[in-house]
Amino acid sequence: MIDVAVIGGGAAGMMAALEAASRGAAVSVFERQARVGRKLSVTGNGRCNLTNIQASSAHYHGETPDFAGPALRRFGPEETLRRFRELGLLTTVQADGRAYPLSDSAGSVVDVLRYAMEAGGVRLRTGCEVKAVKAGKKGFRICLSDGEAYADRVVVACGGAAGERFGGSELGYRLLEGLGHSRTRLGRGLVQLRSDNRCCRSLKGIRADAAVTVLSGGRSVARSAGEVQFTDYGLSGPAIFEISSAALSSADAAVSLDLLREVSEAELARLLRRRAASTPQLALEDAFVGTVQNRIGRVLVGVCGLKGSAPISVLEDGDAERLAHTAKNFLFPITGDMGMEYAQVTVGGVSAREFDPNTMESRLCPGLFACGEVLDVDGDCGGFNLQWAWSSGRLAGVCAAEA
Ligand SMILES: Cc1cc2nc3c(=O)[nH]c(=O)nc-3n(C[C@H](O)[C@H](O)[C@H](O)COP(=O)(O)OP(=O)(O)OC[C@H]3O[C@@H](n4cnc5c(N)ncnc54)[C@H](O)[C@@H]3O)c2cc1C
């Protein structure tokens, strides 16, 4: 029987352990936190966006193009949802392709994986940090916080540095570097952006639908659309996460929000002019009522330097156009981000070039496998990162258990 040691009991590690055990391997999972699936249990705001039915290699980034392709083609979103159904997890897929557990609880994803590992005879060692892995002639010696262990094959599934609050760390990179691997430069992906636009405070707590454009030197460098959340420090929400890497890697970046993407600027200006003519006593701060949220409307009026308490009839030539332009091009200069602690994914990681994408085995150290976020692969916002964890974890588990 082949002994497989899985280092890290997160999404990728649990999937790898299950697959290796179901193929007859004797599997141990070493997890440094008190329980497995700590990060998984907070994903998707506690709902766990566990995959996206549109997942394909086009949604993944890193220095090795199409590295994610083989694993995704073998075990993509459909196979993932089917596998979870076998484990007893019912799921629902939204119109935008994002899949969630029907229970709306990330905890149930962790639970079904935990139960299946128990049923499959996987040995779980929580509160146990792997300090180093040494490759020998007959397998691996694993140095633990409380002793040592031996295995024929090792799967490193330690995750990345992002989300420090939920166990993200650089430990996995160090383990693999100790075995001769190198890593690319690390950055933060899918992260909240800071802005010095003073309106942020007044808009704090509002969620709005917007088309988002990242501008650098006046040029558009990235776009997204969807939910934006205003916070006291800047901008958050899925549409912001999606363009965060582009904003952080561009000089003098600013985010421009189109808060009325269904309506043209000219149409909006017409609507405002009509309103000024039909209800001249209406306070200017209510000019946008019925178009954007009232609090946003008031802020837009202020941004244009107009007095909210004045009647709308004071609008002069060009004012309606200026208001409409601001609503469709609301500018937030970007001053930074919320850091690795808050990022959802690490950009960069252990060089995927040093692993075989068809097996996830190291090209430098036979018998060593890696999967999930520890590798230099990061996905778009919307369930793609967990899909990578499932796809790569499964492939690593299957191949590590092969005789
Ligand atoms: C707040 C938040 C929300 C997110 N929401 C989503 C979402 O909805 N959809 C989505 O697709 N992605 C989401 N992500 C990203 C996703 O959670 C990760 O990409 C995914 O969990 C990576 O899986 P992994 O198994 O590689 O790493 P992890 O899930 O981080 O697991 C790695 C495990 O290894 C353990 N470990 C590390 N080093 C050692 C060591 N030396 N010894 C023993 N154990 C060790 C860690 O404690 C950890 O439990 C979110 C991330 C965050 C932070």
- 3-class DSSP state of 388: helix
The whole-angstrom separation of Cα 381 and Cα 61 is 12
The answer to whether 25 touches 85, Cβ cutoff 8 Å, is no
The whole-angstrom separation of Cα 207 and Cα 94 is 19
The whole-angstrom separation of Cα 245 and Cα 305 is 32
Q: What is the pLDDT of residue 240?
A: 97
Pairing state of beta strands 219-230 and 207-216?
A: antiparallel
Q: Which residues on adjacent β-strands are paired with residue 41?
A: none
Same domain? For 175 and 41 the reply is yes
Q: What is the pTM of this model?
A: 0.93
**Is 67 a pocket residue for ligand 1 (Cβ < 6 Å)?**
no
Which of 338, 353, 371 finishes a domain? 338
List for the chain the helix, strand, coil content (%; round to 5): 35, 25, 40
For the stretch 369-388, pLDDT in tens is 999 999 999 999 999 999 99
Q: What is the pLDDT of residue 306?
A: 95
Same domain? For 133 and 154 the reply is yes
Q: What is the pLDDT of residue 251?
A: 86
Q: How far is the CA of 378 from the centre of ligand 1 (A)?
A: 12
For the stretch 316-355, pLDDT in tens is 989 999 999 999 999 999 999 999 999 999 999 999 999 9
The whole-angstrom separation of Cα 226 and Cα 211 is 7
Same domain? For 148 and 217 the reply is no
Same domain? For 250 and 146 the reply is no
Q: Which residues on adjacent β-strands are paired with residue 4?
A: 27, 153
Same domain? For 268 and 327 the reply is yes
The whole-angstrom separation of Cα 221 and Cα 251 is 11
For the stretch 202-259, pLDDT in tens is 999 999 999 999 999 989 999 999 999 999 999 999 999 999 999 998 889 999 999 9
Same domain? For 23 and 170 the reply is yes
Which of 285, 317, 338 finishes a domain? 338
Q: What is the pLDDT of residue 65?
A: 83
The whole-angstrom separation of Cα 364 and Cα 361 is 9
Widest Cα–Cα separation across the chain: 86
Which residue has a Cα nearest atom 31 of ligand 1? 10
Average pLDDT, integer, range 124-149: 96
Atom of ligand 1 at shortest range from CA of 12: 25
The whole-angstrom separation of Cα 330 and Cα 202 is 14
The answer to whether 334 touches 306, Cβ cutoff 8 Å, is no
Q: Dihedral of CA 32/36/41/43: which sign?
A: positive
pLDDT above 90 (res 394): yes
Return the structure tokens found at 204.
Answer: 């704090």
The whole-angstrom separation of Cα 269 and Cα 254 is 24
**Is 227 a pocket residue for ligand 1 (Cβ < 6 Å)?**
no
Return the structure tokens found at 383.
Answer: 């369930």
Same domain? For 202 and 167 the reply is no
Same domain? For 320 and 350 the reply is no
Burial of 4 (0-12, 13-18, 19+ CB in 10 A): buried
pLDDT above 90 (res 119): yes
pLDDT above 90 (res 403): no
How many C-beta atoms surround the C-beta of residue 352 within 10 A?
21
Q: Which CATH number goes with the domain that contains 394? A: 3.50.50.60
Average pLDDT, integer, range 55-82: 96
Same domain? For 260 and 396 the reply is no
> Which residue from 158, 186, 392 has its CB within 8 A of the most atoms of ligand 1, so it is best to mutate?
158
**Is 390 a pocket residue for ligand 1 (Cβ < 6 Å)?**
no
Same domain? For 183 and 217 the reply is no
The answer to whether 111 touches 153, Cβ cutoff 8 Å, is no
Same domain? For 255 and 314 the reply is yes
Q: Which residues on adjacent β-strands are paired with residue 73?
A: none
Pairing state of beta strands 130-136 and 187-189?
A: unpaired
**Is 341 a pocket residue for ligand 1 (Cβ < 6 Å)?**
no
* Burial annotation 149-167 (CB, 10 A radius, 16+ → b, else e): bebbbbbbbbbbbbbeebb
Which of 286, 318, 338 finishes a domain? 338
DSSP string, 302-321: HHTT--TTSBGGG--TTHHH
Average pLDDT, integer, range 90-96: 96
The answer to whether 306 touches 319, Cβ cutoff 8 Å, is yes
Q: What is the mean pLDDT of the chain?
A: 96
**Is 392 a pocket residue for ligand 1 (Cβ < 6 Å)?**
no
**C-alpha triplet 369, 175, 183: angle, nearest 5°:** 80
Same domain? For 210 and 351 the reply is no
Q: Which helix (H) or strand (E) holds 325?
A: helix 319-328
Q: By residue range, what is the domain housing residue 254?
A: 192-338
Q: Which helix (H) or strand (E) holds 277?
A: helix 265-278
Q: State the total domains in the chain.
A: 2
